[in-house]
Amino acid sequence: MDAFLDFYLETLQNVASRKLNKWTEGKSLITGIHVPTFWRFRASYLIYLNGYFIDALSLLRAIFENVLQVVALESGIILKDEVFGTLRVEEAQNLTDEESDKLIRKYTNKSDAKVRSHLIGEKSGLSSIAIKDLKDLVKLLHSSVHKSKLNIVWYYRPWLKGKRSLPIYPEYNEDLASIYINISMFIAWMLSKTFPLMQIHDKEFSFKWHSKYQILDESFKEAIAGFPKRWGRSIEELVAKKFDFGF
């Protein structure tokens, strides 16, 4: 994970060194999504290292959604105007700010649903097993965000049953740490697959960069190939079918 985050930062630094007149609109948007995604991944990892496993997991949900959005943009599933739910001028003319915000949320939710459907849902072309596993993954990430449900399940409920004390400060938990490590690895591999998309032309990044990229990709591939549970196979299927950009 340290190597991945270092390489992520190096990639963004390469892109940031461009002159403004060398940007293209599509690449700008993909990079614009990647920058806050890097911040959130870095924050997630630091929280994990401090023992807040479920709280670290909660940050991975938006990261997963962001990487799907990048793939959807590159694949033409959505257009750039759909990313932020942009209103047409004629739509917004007679609306209050509150009504405009509500309509933007509606458009954004519609776009997000379209992305999920085409990449991990019923229109994705993935196997039924992979679709189910990815749906379960999203549900797990969702439950880590809303009302701290996972914290309640893992800590509060055993305390109520008299099985353990209620920790005030983080305690090491092998199961929760493993959940975070595995899911963060899945998402990191997906993200790394999209790094070359930030290039304006195929050879913009150096030979050294591409060598590092190949090493990182092979490392993720080997680690996930050794993952014993079914989720590993579903992630491999998703990456093979949706993240093959010819790099």
Query: Is residue 138, in this structure, part of any structural domain at all?
Result: yes
Token pair for 91:
């739509």
CA distance 138 to 60: 10
Closest CA to 150 of 22, 226, 216, 56: 56
Which structural domain, as residue segments, surrounds residue 120? 2-242
Overall number of domains in the chain: 1
How much is the average pLDDT of 19-36? 81
pLDDT tens-place string over residues 175-220 = 899 999 999 999 999 999 999 999 988 788 999 999 999 999 999 9
- What is the average pLDDT across 51-80? 92
Q: How many CB atoms lie within 10 A of CB 51?
A: 16
Q: In the chain, what is the greatest distance between 2 CA atoms, to the nearest angstrom?
A: 64
State which amino acid sits at residue 94: N
Residue 147 confidence (pLDDT): 64
pLDDT tier for residue 51 given thresholds of 50, 70 and 90: very high
User: Residue 149 domain-assigned?
Assistant: yes
Q: Is residue 235 scored above 80 in pLDDT?
A: yes
Residue 118: inside a domain, yes or no?
A: yes
Task: Decide if 247 is inside a domain.
Answer: no
- Residues 69, 71, 72: CA angle, nearest 5 degrees: 60
What pLDDT score was predicted for residue 149? Answer: 67
- Is residue 117 assigned to a domain? yes
Work out the percent of the chain whose per-residue pLDDT is above 90.
56
Q: What is the pLDDT of residues 110-161, one digit of tens each?
A: 888 999 999 999 999 999 999 999 999 999 898 888 766 666 776 777 777 8
pLDDT at 86: 61
pLDDT higher at 23 or 229: 229
pTM across the whole model: 0.86
- Higher pLDDT, residue 191 or 23: 191
Closest by alpha carbon to 238, among 75, 70, 124? 124
Report pLDDT for 89.
52
Estimate to the nearest angstrom the gap between the alpha carbon of 76 and the chain centroid.
18
For residue 217, tell me if it sits in a domain.
yes
Q: Is position 115 within any domain?
A: yes
